[in-house]
């Protein structure tokens, strides 16, 4: 089954280059030249969004914030607004990845395919469906829902989900940033803070354990380690 990318971009030339690149991997493209058109195109149920931040009718970050209130579709930001603050804010409010303009189109294709594979893996075969319990939290790997007793499910996004699963499958084991980058199908780049921002987001969602400690501990020059007992059930 062919997959579809929604390209939210007001520049026709960039839309053409992106769609041509995606087509080489068998990914179809639909387009939105502004925020209003994006909401309409979501009715076509695209599998991934490639989002420019500088749109004529709305700021791309605000558009992303609104999108995350109703959807967990993976989002790759592709923008000239690429300083570190913009990147961090974009990830914190729900983007799964961030590539500056201009960029290598092969890298953009690899990142897009990585997001699509993450979504496919989230639909686990029936025999592998399970719930992972830690503290007062439960992660349901069938529905990809993170919840705690008496509260509604907490959205994670595809990248946050992939990283949390990596931690829960290897509790008390140090995981390097390079390893976590591979979990996101990203090339590891030293000093790239994407992984750190995602981990900070997970920490903020989980809060503290009963003893006041964090679920995820930073290991200087190594990476991170999940420090809570995890139990699995069907």
Measured CA distances, 79 to 7, 9, 50, 52, 103 (Å): 12, 9, 10, 5, 10
Kindly report, residue by residue over 68-77, the tens digit of the pLDDT: 888 889 999 9
Question: Other CB atoms closer than 10 Å to residue 148's CB: what's the count?
Answer: 14
Token duo for residue 189: 């780049």
Write phi, then psi, for 107 (nearest 5 degrees): -70, -40
Taken in order of first residue, the domains within the chain and their CATH numbers are: 3-121 (3.40.50.2300), 126-233 (1.10.10.10)
- Average pLDDT over every residue of 165-184: 89
Listed residue (14, 13, 33, 221) closest to 99, CA to CA: 14
Write phi, then psi, for 166 (nearest 5 degrees): -60, -45
Q: 61: part of which helix (H) or strand (E)?
A: helix 60-67
Q: 27: part of which helix (H) or strand (E)?
A: strand 27-32
User: Mapping DSSP to helix (H, G, I), strand (E, B) and coil, where does residue 43 land?
Assistant: helix
More confident residue, 1 or 23: 23
> In sequence order, which residues have a C-beta less than 8 Å from that of residue 62 and are 6 or more positions away?
none
Quote the pLDDT of residue 126: 41
Q: How far apart are CA 230 and CA 137, in angstroms?
A: 10
Question: Other CB atoms closer than 10 Å to residue 211's CB: what's the count?
Answer: 5
Listed residue (105, 107, 36, 97) closest to 67, CA to CA: 36
User: Mapping DSSP to helix (H, G, I), strand (E, B) and coil, where does residue 216 land?
Assistant: strand
Quote the pLDDT of residue 124: 45
The residues pairing with 146 across neighbouring beta strands, listed in sequence order, are 139, 154
Q: How far apart are CA 179 and CA 163, in angstroms?
A: 10
The CA radius of gyration of the chain, in Å to the nearest whole number, is: 18
Predicted confidence band of residue 127 (pLDDT cuts 50, 70, 90) = very low
Measured CA distances, 141 to 27, 123, 199, 206, 224 (Å): 26, 8, 19, 17, 22
Kindly report, residue by residue over 75-104, the tens digit of the pLDDT: 999 988 877 788 888 888 888 888 888 888
More confident residue, 132 or 94: 132
């Amino acid at each position: 089954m062919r997959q579809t990318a929604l390209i939210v971009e007001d520049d026709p030339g960039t839309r053409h280059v992106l769609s041509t690149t995606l087509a080489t991997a068998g990914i179809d493209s639909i387009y939105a030249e502004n925020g209003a058109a994006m909401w309409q195109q979501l009715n076509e149920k695209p599998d991934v969004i490639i989002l420019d931040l500088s749109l004529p009718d709305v700021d791309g970050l605000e558009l992303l914030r609104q999108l995350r209130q109703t959807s967990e579709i993976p989002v790759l930001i592709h923008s000239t607004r690429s300083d570190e603050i913009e990147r961090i804010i974009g990830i914190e409010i729900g983007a799964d990845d961030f590539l500056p303009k201009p960029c290598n189109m092969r890298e953009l294709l690899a990142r897009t395919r990585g997001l699509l594979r993450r979504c496919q893996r989230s639909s686990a075969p029936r025999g592998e469906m399970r719930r992972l319990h830690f503290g007062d939290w439960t992660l349901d790997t069938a529905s990809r829902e993170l919840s705690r007793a008496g509260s509604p499910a907490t959205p994670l996004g595809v990248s946050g989900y992939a990283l949390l699963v990596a931690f829960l499958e290897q509790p008390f084991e140090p995981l390097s940033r390079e390893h976590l980058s591979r979990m996101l199908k990203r090339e590891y780049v030293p000093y790239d803070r994407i992984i750190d921002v995602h981990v900070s987001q997970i920490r903020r969602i989980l809060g503290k354990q009963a003893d006041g400690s964090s679920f995820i501990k930073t290991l200087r020059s190594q990476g991170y380690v999940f420090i809570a007992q995890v139990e699995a059930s069907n």
